[in-house]
Structure 1
Amino acid sequence: MIGIVDYGRGNLRSVEKALEKVGHEARIMGTPQELEEVNGLILPGVGAFADAMQALKEGEWIKPLLRFAASGKPFLGICLGMQVLFEVGEEHGEHVGLGLLAGRVVKFPPGKKVPHMGWNSLWIKQSSPLLEGIPDQSYFYFVHSYYAVPAESRDIIAASDYGIEFPAVVGKKNVWGAQFHPEKSSPWGLQLLTNFGKWVSEGETLSGY
């Protein structure tokens, strides 16, 4: 079972339907206590970094999410849900994130229209189970005005370009993030969710945080 965190900041039903389409059972979770009942977790997100962290704090999600990451079970952040995996976000001031990945989330430099919205290709930097069966330079759907700058280049699995190169897929141990929306990126987005669900269903855990 894959849990989808409902903290008021994500496209919950579209993620749930995409997982169901590729044959993986999913459930939208409204309380942190439900984390104990799932073997994999998706943290979606749409909106601003500070608002997302405030919603997670108010919903008492932060400590349970960190415990889940420490369990070694698969954990995937999508779009804003990927960004809050990092230590700091610079949207409307400096705000503390979950700190599961080292680095900052910063705004695209002047000269490009924001948000970056639409289809863009990936450059795969390193092999990962999350991208199994996905060819290099496959296209995915993005909507974002900020991007992650990981402190460790080894955490960058794939990158894309919008005037500058930015991380599109990140990961460390059992925690992964996708800047794009896989649920809107058929067919390769569905392949990514298939891969994530396969990892969850196999019951594999890695050394957690």
Structure 2
Amino acid sequence: MSQKQTIAIVDYGMGNLHSVTKAFELVAGDDATIILTADPAVVASADKVVFPGQGAMPDCMRELNESGLKQAVLDAAASKPFLGICVGAQLLFEHSEEGDMDCLGVFKGKVVKFKPENMHDSVGQKLKVPHMGWNEMFIKREHPLWAGISEAERFYFVHSYHFAPASDADTIIESAYPTRFAVAVARDNIFAIQCHPEKSHTPGLQLLKNFVHWKL
């Protein structure tokens, strides 16, 4: 019998870790062991890695550095199936306007703030920042992690900043608030998504289940 795969959820003190962990335990069943860990060695030995995050980017980057997990995250992103969620996804870019700070640089591009003074809905009402609620997704290109999820599905968002990839080729999913922005990027072994699949009911759980079964 083959050994059960391990999926490490990186705990660097910033993130909705309980919800992410419980969602993965639900969809993984007997197909994977889910490990919430702050140990770089456990991250290094895991078969797959999930990198969540929640809160202000400067705080997240500081905790990542102080925890000793930064290099483990970079190594995982370079070598194994890797899922970034929310601020965890933002941290994969080169620079963030939040705190005017350098990030991990896995993807080229930056994290920018919504500009509410320029944002209105279809009837002229001013849109609020942070962007909070359910938004429709627009598929730019197919990906194994999006299997079984229709374009009409809505996912849950809570954010004031969003990533702006330097290369359009990295973007696979977009949403609109009110104009289009990148929601998910992917390259090789990495998939990173701005919204919260763990809070997005059936389609979000499908994405996490697809990650459990993702084979490169």
Q: Decide: shared fold, TM above 0.5.
A: yes
Alignment of 1:177-192 (within 5 A): 177-192=192-207
Q: Provide the aligned C-alpha RMSD in A.
A: 1.1
**CA-to-partner distance for each residue in 1:137-167, whole Å, 9 max, x for gaps?**
2100000000111000011010001122111
Aligned positions of 1:75-86 closer than 5 A: 75-86=82-93
Q: Highest Rg: 1 or 2?
A: 2
Residue segments in structure 2 that go unaligned for 5+ positions in a row = 1-5, 118-126
Letter in 2 for 1:102: K
Size of the alignment, in residue pairs?
A: 199
Of 105-114 and 79-88, deviating more is: 105-114
How many angstroms apart in 2 are the aligned matches of 1:96 and 1:66? 14
Alpha-carbon distance in structure 1 between the residues aligned to 2:161 and 2:132: 12
Deviation per residue, 1:18-42 (Å, 9 max, x gap): 1111124311011111112211111
Residue 25 (structure 2) aligns with: 20
CA–CA distance in 1 between the matches of 2:33 and 2:193?
20
Q: Does the CA-based 8 Å contact 2:14-2:54 persist in structure 1?
A: yes
8 Å CA contact 2:49–2:81 kept in 1: the answer is yes
The runs of at least 4 consecutive aligned structure 1 residues that moved more than 6 Å come to none
The match for 1:56 is 64
User: What secondary structure is seen at the aligned counterpart in 2 of 1:187?
Assistant: helix
Equivalent of residue 107 in structure 1, options 105, 113, 132? 113
Letter in 1 for 2:149: I
- Establish whether residue 174 from structure 1 lines up as the match of residue 189 from structure 2: yes
Identity of aligned residues (%): 47
Q: Is the 8 A contact 2:44 2:75 kept in 1?
A: no
Shift in Å, 1:130: 1.0
What one-letter code is carried by the residue in structure 1 that aligns with 2:201?
S
Q: Is 1:88 matched up with 2:95?
A: yes
Higher relative contact order (CA 8 A, sep 6+): 1
Q: TM-score of the superposition, structure 1-length normalised? A: 0.92
* Uncovered stretches (5+) of structure 1, i.e. residues with no partner: 205-209
Answering whether residue 150 of structure 2 is matched by residue 150 of structure 1, we say: no
Name the structure 1 match of 2:13.
8
Does residue 32 in structure 1 map to residue 40 in structure 2? yes
State the secondary structure of the residue aligned to 1:42.
strand
Q: Determine the structure 2 residue equivalent to 1:44.
A: 52
Q: How far did residue 67 of structure 1 move?
A: 1.3
